[in-house]
């Protein structure tokens, strides 16, 4: 086996593994943030894969975007956008209609 073949197989596999780990860590950060607000996390989903998705993940701000559904402390279920990054923290919009309003932990 040549080093070229190892690199051809190993680099994409390493990249895919890193993406899986980043997604796992992001979901843990999102869940911790949502719990700190007194809410219950119901679901987390990523935007569809495509050029804009890749730009959001790696180029624009280094923050990853997610759509989350939560049950708030009053029992209401709602969906909202969420941004997270390793160094920048986690931010959720207050609701889907106003993505610029941010909810901070208590």
Q: What residues make up the domain containing 96?
A: 3-103
Residue with tokens 């923050």: 63
| Residues 6 or more apart in contact with residue 81 via CB below 8 angstroms | 65, 66, 67, 68, 92, 93, 96, 99
Which residues are bridge partners to 102 per DSSP?
Answer: 93
Q: Long-range contacts: 56-62, Cβ < 8 Å, 24+? A: 61/85, 61/88, 62/87, 62/88
Which residues are bridge partners to 82 per DSSP?
Answer: 66, 92
Q: Per residue in 43-58, pLDDT tens? A: 998 766 555 555 555 5
What is residue 98's predicted lDDT score, i.e. its pLDDT?
46
Residue 28 or 18, more confident = 28
Domain count, the chain: 1
What is residue 99's predicted lDDT score, i.e. its pLDDT?
43
Residue 95 or 16, more confident = 16
pTM: 0.70
What is residue 57's predicted lDDT score, i.e. its pLDDT?
53
What is residue 63's predicted lDDT score, i.e. its pLDDT?
76
> Per mean pLDDT, which range of 9-13, 20-24, 36-40, 83-87 is the poorest?
83-87
């Amino acid at each position: 086996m040549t080093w070229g073949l190892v690199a051809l197989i190993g680099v994409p596999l390493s990249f895919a593994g890193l993406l899986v780990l980043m997604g796992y860590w992001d979901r843990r950060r999102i869940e911790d943030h949502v719990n700190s607000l007194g809410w219950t996390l119901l679901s987390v989903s990523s935007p569809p894969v495509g050029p804009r998705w890749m730009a959001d993940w790696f180029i624009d701000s280094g923050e990853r975007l997610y759509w989350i559904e939560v049950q708030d402390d009053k029992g209401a279920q709602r969906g909202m956008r969420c941004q997270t990054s390793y160094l920048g923290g986690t931010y959720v919009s207050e609701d889907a209609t106003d993505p610029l309003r941010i909810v901070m932990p208590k």
